[in-house]
Amino acid sequence: MATKKAGAKKAGKKKTGTKKTGTKKAGTKKTGAKKAAAGADAKKKKTRSGSTAAKSASGRKVAAGRKKDVVLLAGGNPQIPKGEGNAPVKAYIAAMPGWKRAVGRRLDRLIEDAVPDVRKAVKWNSPFYGAAEGEGWFLNFHCFTRYVKVAFLRGGSLRPKPPGESKHKHVRYLDIHEDDAFDEAQFRDWVKQASELPGEKM
């Protein structure tokens, strides 16, 4: 009888062990499935976030591409490549910041009125105006922080002389601030006189 009981106990132990092992295996399978699912979710999230980042980066590139990349130098002066003709001068004026843009347009219009066949160019980040081909330049202007400076390259010979002095003997300046009164008739007369003088060759 003792032998039978012992055998039964052993058999019971084996059954119990089998059940436990089966439970463990099932648990392992479930755990593995959970890990696989979690890994798949993580990959999806990475893919989504990568796709979103790529889209936003692409959006930034497009937005940047739409802007005209004109650098403003010290005093807000536009950096425009050297070039002959009306186009680079118009590009410079379009890039002048704030109230200075209207001043640039006004100066350009008055110069054209006074000298209909005026020659134009951008040199050293400033618009230049000259008379006939080969006769040199008589005027340029440039943006500074608080004003636009017009340089009459033979201003010492104009009557009356433009008010601003220069370290260069022949040059005279006209500084135009935002709220300054501006005498268009006098400016046009200076331009006309300047265009009839020998220009500066540069």
pLDDT digits (tens, 9 = 90+) for 168-188: 999 999 999 999 999 999 999
Query: Helix (H, G, I), strand (E, B), or coil: what is residue 21?
Result: helix
Length of the chain counted residue by residue: 202
**How many domains is the chain partitioned into structurally?**
2
Residue 96 C-alpha from the chain's centroid? 14
Q: What is the pTM of this model?
A: 0.67
Q: What is the pLDDT of residue 90?
A: 98
Tell me whether residue 202 is in a domain.
no
CA gap 17, 23 in Å, rounded: 10
Q: Are residues 174 and 99 in the same domain?
A: yes
**CA end-to-end span of the chain, whole Å?**
126
- Give me the pLDDT at residue 133, please: 74
Q: Using one digit for the tens of pLDDT, what is the confidence trace for 146-167?
A: 999 999 999 999 999 999 999 9
Phi and psi dihedrals of 144, rounded to 5? -120, 175
Domain annotation covers residue 27: yes
pLDDT of residue 68: 63
Q: What is the pLDDT of residue 39?
A: 53
**End residue of a domain, out of 24, 50, 67:** 67
Statement to judge: residues 57 and 130 lie in one domain: no
Core vs surface per residue 115-135: b (16+ CB within 10 A) or e? beebbbbbeebbbbbbbeeee
Q: Which of 17, 49, 67 is the last residue of a domain?
A: 67
Q: Examine residue 200 and state whether it is found in any structural domain, yes or no.
A: no
Provide the residue range defining the domain that includes 98: 74-195
In which residue ranges of the chain is pLDDT below 50? 1-31, 45-67
User: Does residue 6 sit in the same domain as residue 83?
Assistant: no
Out of 23, 41, 67, pick the residue that ends a domain.
67
